[in-house]
Structure 1
Amino acid sequence: MPASAPVLSVVVPMLDEADVLPLFIERLRPVLDGLGEAYELVAVDDGSRDATPVLLQAARRTWPELRVLRLRANAGHQAAISAGLAAARGAWVVTLDADLQDPPEIIPDMLRAARAEEADVVYGVRTDRSSDSAFKRRSARAFYGLMRAMGAKDAPDNAGDYRLMSRATVDAVNALPEDHRVLRLVVPALGFPSTTVGYVREQRAAGASKYPLARMVRLSVDAVTGFSSAPLRLATWFGLGGFVLAVVLLGYALVAKIVGHTVAGWTSTVVIVAAFGAIQLLCLGVLGEYVGRIYATLQRRPTYYVAHDSLRDSSPAPADAEERPHRT
Structure 2
Amino acid sequence: MNKPVLTIVVPCFNEEEVFTDTSFQLSTLMTNLITNALISNESKILFVDDGSKDNTWNLIETESDNNPYVKGLKLAGNVGHQFALLAGLETAAKHSDCVISIDADLQDDINVIPEFIEKFWEGADIVYGVRDKRETDTFFKRNTALGFYKFMGKIGIKLVPNHADFRLMSKRALEELLKYKESNLFLRGLVPRIGYKSTEVYYDRKERLAGESKYPLKKMLAFAFDGITSFSVAPIRLVTFVGFLSMIISAIAGAYAVIQRFLGHTESGWASLIISIWFVGGLQLLGIGIIGEYIGKIYHEVKRRPRYAIEKDLYSVQEKTQQHNEAVVK
CA distance in 1, matches of 2:318, 2:25: 27
The offset of 1:267, in angstroms, is 4.4
Aligned to 1:281: 285
Deviation at 1:260, TM superposition (A): 5.6
Equivalence for 2:49: 45
- Pick one of 84, 103, 124 that aligns with 1:119: 124
Is the 8 Å Cα contact of residues 96 and 163 (structure 1) preserved in structure 2?
yes
Alignment equivalent of 1:159, drawn from 142, 156, 163: 163
C-alpha displacement at 1:242, in angstroms?
1.7
* Structure 2 match to 1:92: 98
Structure 2 unaligned regions, length at least 5: 35-39, 320-330
**Structure 1 portions without partners, runs of 5+:** 316-328
> Per-residue deviation at 1:168?
1.0
Deviations 1:19-78 (A, max 9, x none): 111121121111111111231111110011111112111211221221110111110010
Query: Is the CA contact (8 Å cut-off) linking 2:130 and 2:163 kept in structure 1?
Result: yes
- Which has the higher Rg, Structure 1 or Structure 2? 2
**Take 1:13 and 1:231, find their aligned partners in 2: how far apart are those partners?**
31
Partner SS, residue 132 of structure 1: coil
- Report the Cα distance in structure 2 between the residues aligned to 1:47 and 1:225, rounded to whole angstroms: 27
After alignment, is 8-17 or 217-226 more displaced? Answer: 217-226
Distance (Å, rounded) in 2 between the aligned partners of 1:242 and 1:79: 41
2:20 maps to which residue?
A: 22
Letter in 1 for 2:183: D
SS in 2 for 1:19: helix
1:284-317 Cα shifts (integer Å, max 9, x gaps):
11111110000011222222111111123469xx
Residue 104 of structure 1 corresponds to which residue in structure 2? 110
Amino acid at match of 2:146: R
Q: 1:245 to 1:271 in 2, by over 3 A?
A: farther
Residue of structure 2 in register with 1:208 after alignment? 212
Residue identity opposite 1:195 in structure 2: T
Which whole-Å deviations, capped at 9, do the CAs of 1:211-246 have from their partners, x for residues lacking one? 112211221121111112222222221221121232
Displacement of 1:86 in angstroms is: 1.0
2: CA distance between counterparts of 1:29 and 1:208?
Answer: 23
- Tell me by how many angstroms 1:6 deviates: 6.5
CA deviation profile, 1:114-147 (whole Å, cap 9, x unmatched): 222x211100000022122222211211111111
User: Match of 1:140, as an amino acid?
Assistant: A
Greater helix proportion: 2
Partner of 2:138: 133
Question: Is residue 184–residue 301 contact of structure 2 (8 Å, CA) maintained in 1?
Answer: no
* Counterparts of 1:143 and 1:298, CA distance in 2: 29
Q: For residues 303 and 20 of structure 2, what CA distance do their matches in structure 1 show?
A: 40
Confirm or deny that 1:10 pairs with 2:8.
Answer: yes
Q: What's the TM-score, normalizing by structure 2?
A: 0.87
In 2, Cα distance between equivalents of 1:259 and 1:171: 74
Task: Tell me whether 1:144 sits opposite 2:149 in the alignment.
Answer: yes
The answer (yes or no) to whether the contact 1:24–1:98 under 8 Å persists in 2 is yes
